[in-house]
Amino acid sequence: MRFAEFTPYDIVLLLQGLGVTVGLFLITSLIGLLVGVLWGVVRFYRIPVLMQLVTFVSEILKNSPVLVQLFLVFFGFPAFFHVNVTPVQAAIVTLSANTAAFVYVIAVSSIESIGRDQVEAARVFGLSRWQVLRHVIAPQAAAFSIGPLTALLVNQLQVTSLISVIGVLDLAKIGATLNLRTLKPFIVWTAVGILYYLAAKAVASLGAWAEKRLRAHSAFRGL
Amino acid sequence: MRLDLTILIPHLGFLAEGALLTLEACALALIGSVILGMLVAIARTSSSKWISRLAFLYVDLFRNIPFIVQLFFFYYGLPEIGIYIDAFTTGVVALSIAGGAYASDAIRAGILAIDNGILEAAEVSGLSKRVTFTRIVLPIALRTSVRPLGSVLINMILTSSILSTITLNELTGQAKIVASDTFRPFEVYVVLLVVYAALTYLVSLGITLLHRRLNRDLQEQVS
């Protein structure tokens, strides 16, 4: 074996992989959040056919393995729709849709967490449905949903590791490459695991910070 | 661009074999993770600080590191230290350990939810600590945590698709072979999505029934 030893460059490789993982995680979370909230709004307005469609799609996405969804987009779409799909595109589409499905559930439950009497009072004051959503429901729903959202995002960060299977050079793929070259699985996968762990902890503490900020207005200030 | 599902008919038996392997692995891993989860839940509710801290560390680590990284750690790592087991056993062990972290949380919640009056009654009746735990605390905790344990199982079925990356040909692995045999990845993976969704739906139905049956005497409190 010529290249069987670790080199200092491996650290750069690992950090590069971490960068790809975190970057894709941020992009897909953002898209997923937007799409999921949009689906929630569709349900809030009770748009007929669209509402059932959204519920169905989110059920399918929630109840099937992300790996199969990835394969469907990466191998299935090019064969069926005759389009070119790069691994990164497939990863972005799949992870965004998957995040959206879970965000949709959180959005629906946090909209429903707000008492009907508040909505009715706002309507009596002459606010439109949009104004009710924007000024009455959204601020409270955001504070309510931040806890479950943090848990979801920590989970989605780990789900990003699956994109290594279709060839995206993320942290898990770098780990596999280093493992093949050095044949030292314990060191390589421990290092990769620690990096994922630290990233998950960072997301969790950011979520806790955001929750504290959003709940500040309703927190007990003392007498 | 026609969705033609009839091409799958000759491969149904082949896919069913994979589904059977998935169920087998999940059933074994469920047993493993409930046993492990029980032990860890006991450790986490223990009054000894070090034991509970150690148990928390295990849960924290295995929940925050992606399953694929854990799986590769075991699959490539175990032969390194002279343990040669096949992919199926490795997969079941990895699923059990990862599932155990989630199961322990469910069982711990069940233990903490037990009414203090029950414990006091056991103490007054002169039962030893061990008998109180094995005969009173655990049966109640397991019974009330059937539903959360069920979602652990559903997650496990979805997670088991990742076992296809270590050459274990369960449902997803078999589907991959069928997709490359027929050149129809789109049809294969669409069907696979629906099969997984149907499978998890059936499991969740079964769990609801089991939960109701086991808790029929405290129907109004639990349901």
Give the model confidence (pLDDT) of B196-207 as tens digits: 999 999 999 999
Query: Which of A80, A163, A164, A178 should one mutate to test binding to chain B, selecting the residue with the greatest count of B CBs within 10 A?
Result: A80
**Assigned CATH class of A9-215:** mainly alpha
Q: Which two tokens stand for residue B46?
A: 């223990």
Nearest to B43 by CA among B103, B97, B98, B104: B104
CB contact under 8 A, B172 and A59: no
Mean pLDDT in residue range B37-60:
91
Find the residue in B nearest to A195 (Cα). Answer: B65
**Where do the domains of chain A lie?**
9-215
Q: Which residues of B touch A69 (CB under 8 A)?
A: 193
Find the residue in B nearest to A200 (Cα). Answer: B64
Give the model confidence (pLDDT) of B157-172 as tens digits: 999 999 999 989 999 9
CB contact under 8 A, B69 and A196: yes
> How far is it, in rounded angstroms, from Cα A143 to Cα A218?
10
Q: In angstroms, what separates the C-alpha of B89 from chain A's closest C-alpha?
A: 18
**Which pLDDT belongs to residue B220?**
60
Q: In angstroms, what separates the C-alpha of A112 from chain B's closest C-alpha?
A: 20
List residues of B whose CB lies inside 8 A of any A CB. Answer: 1, 3, 61, 64-70, 72-73, 76-77, 80, 154, 158-159, 161-162, 164-165, 172, 175-176, 179, 183-190, 192-194, 196-197, 200-201
**Which pLDDT belongs to residue A215?**
80
Q: Is the pLDDT of residue A109 over 80?
A: yes
With b meaning 16 or more CB within 10 Å and e meaning fewer, what string describes B66-77?
bbbbbbbbbbbb
Give the model confidence (pLDDT) of A88-102 as tens digits: 999 999 999 999 999
Give the model confidence (pLDDT) of B53-101 as tens digits: 999 999 999 999 999 999 999 999 888 888 888 999 999 999 999 999 9
> How far is it, in rounded angstroms, from Cα A135 to Cα A127?
9
H or E element that contains B13: helix B12-44
Q: Which of B67, B192, B200 sits opposite A68 (nearest CB)?
A: B192
Mean pLDDT in residue range B6-18:
89
Question: Is A82 near chain B, with CB under 8 Å?
Answer: yes
Q: Which two tokens stand for residue A24?
A: 């894709």
CB B91 within 8 A of CB B71: yes
Mean pLDDT in residue range A124-152:
90
DSSP letter for each residue of chain A: --S-S--THHHHHHHHHHHHHHHHHHHHHHHHHHHHHHHHHHHHTT-HHHHHHHHHHHHHHHTS-HHHHHHIIIIIHHHHH-----HHHHHHHHHHHHHHHHHHHHHHHHHHTS-HHHHHHHHHTT--HHHIIIIIIHHHHHHHHHHHHHHHHHHHHHHGGGGGGGT--SHHHHHHHHHHHH--HHHHHHHHHHHHHHHHHHHHHHHHHHHHHHTGGGS----
Mean pLDDT in residue range A123-131:
90
Q: Which domains does chain B have, with CATH numbers?
A: 5-222 (1.10.3720.10)
